[in-house]
Chain A
Amino acid sequence: KNQVEQSPQSLIILEGKNCTLQCNYTVSPFSNLRWYKQDTGRGPVSLTIMTFSENTKSNGRYTATLDADTKQSSLHITASQLSDSASYICVVSAIGTASKLTFGTGTRLQVTL
Chain B
Amino acid sequence: EAQVTQNPRYLITVTGKKLTVTCSQNMNHEYMSWYRQDPGLGLRQIYYSMNVEVTDKGDVPEGYKVSRKEKRNFPLILESPSPNQTSLYFCASRTSLGGNTIYFGEGSWLTVV
Contact = CB atoms under 8 A, between A and B. Distances in A.
Interface of A: 4, 31-32, 34, 41-46, 49, 51, 89, 93, 98-106
Interface stretch (B14-22, B38-46, B69-77, B79-87): B38-46
A32 B98 contact: yes
7 contacts: A4-B42, A42-B107, A49-B100, A49-B101, A89-B42, A101-B45, A103-B44
Main secondary structure of the interface of A (DSSP, over half): strand
A38 B75 CA distance: 23
Contacts of B42: 4, 89, 102-106
Size range of the interface on B?
20 to 34
B60 interface: no
Interface in B11-62: 31, 33, 40-45, 48, 50, 56, 58
Interface of B: 4, 31, 33, 40-45, 48, 50, 56, 58, 88, 90, 96, 98-107, 109
A41 B109 CA distance: 9
Nearest to A9: B40
Given A34-B102, A43-B106, A102-B42, 14 more contacts: A4-B42, A41-B88, A41-B109, A43-B107, A44-B43, A46-B101, A46-B102, A49-B100, A89-B42, A98-B96, A100-B45, A101-B102, A103-B44, A106-B42
